Amino acid sequence: MPDIDIKKIVASLENGIFRENINGYYEYLRMLNRSEKTVRWYVTDTLLFLQYIEKENEHKSLTAIDKNDIRDFIALERTRGITRRSLIRRLSGIKGFFRYLMKKGIIEDSTGLLQMQMPRAKKPLPKVASQEDIVGLLSEAFADSELDKRNSAILSFLYGTGARVSELVSLNTGDVDFRTGVVRLKGKGNKARIVPTGSFVLDKLKIWIDTRKAQCDAVFTTLSGRRLSDRHIRNIVYAAVRRALIKVPASPHTMRHSFATHMLDNGIDIRVLQEMLGHVSLSTTQVYTHVTKERLRRAYDRYHPHAE
């Protein structure tokens, strides 16, 4: 076992069939080349469930366990304050265990265990900076150095196009059409899309490209001409936020979230925004409508004299 605590829990199981099969489950997960972390969590979660079964009904066999047992276990875990995300992981581990038992022919899929629906994790709303903070960040007086011109272009590009960090670092000079004011972004799955952008982005891009000494295909590079990495971009954003002395979440993805939310605030059609962001599903884009509603609610509660 990868963890001494897991060994202790296995040893604490009184049912020899439980012990034998949880060890088999461990070997099965390792054979699937799952990460050590995943193996540890899945085995530990299943052990906790089997401990619960022993405590509730010490004579219950593996074949007699049904989905009501799992539901009762999950309900008990909820009363202990286990997070929704952890509950989903617990269910994944337990269902994986019964899938293993099915492959071994120990149980049949007659209990409906594998068809149980897991609770959906509630995703937190994206963090969004105010329009005033973004304006403050972009208008911060940068020095005339080559690096400052590059960093200013990076900040403007992130907010002006809603690009992902990976899309920014893979950008080539041939992907920017200064005449028509559009850029070509290569998104997830290597899918390309065309995104319009404003002169405040194109002007800073042109200044950076014309200023830099290294000539290469990549738009955003080090001074020696090497393409920047994701980490480079994150560090540049963090430093710019600290330098501007504004209260804005310091993350390149926050710039993308802010781009989307501000576009919705100003009336863009959500399907157009979906295309600009490169989302396959409209439901992914719709999360920004919730952000906008939350912002409206906070504004109402703050400014209406009878809001409370």
Question: Would residue 279 show up in a list of annotated catalytic residues for this protein?
Answer: yes
Q: Which is catalytic among the residues 95, 150, 164, 186?
A: 164
Cβ-contact 137, 246 below 8 angstroms: yes
Q: Which is catalytic among the residues 40, 90, 149, 256?
A: 256
Question: Considering Cα of 145, then 151, then 154, then 160, what sign does the dihedral take?
Answer: negative
Question: Would residue 288 show up in a list of annotated catalytic residues for this protein?
Answer: yes
Q: Which is catalytic among the residues 193, 206, 279, 295?
A: 279
Phi and psi based region of residue 189 (left: phi greater than 0; alpha: psi -120 to 50; beta: remaining): left
Give the span between the Cα atoms of 68 and 71, in whole angstroms: 5
One-letter amino acid for residue 150 of the chain: R
Cβ-contact 116, 95 below 8 angstroms: yes
Question: Would residue 256 show up in a list of annotated catalytic residues for this protein?
Answer: yes
CB contact set of 52 (below 8 Å; sequence gap of 6+): 73, 76
Strand partners, 183: 176, 195
Q: Which is catalytic among the residues 7, 188, 290, 293?
A: 188
Q: Which is catalytic among the residues 34, 99, 184, 253?
A: 253
Cβ-contact 204, 154 below 8 angstroms: no
Strands 176-177 and 192-196: unpaired
Question: Would residue 234 show up in a list of annotated catalytic residues for this protein?
Answer: no
Question: Considering Cα of 33, then 34, then 36, then 41, what sign does the dihedral take?
Answer: negative
Q: What positions carry a catalytic annotation?
A: 164, 188, 253, 256, 279, 288
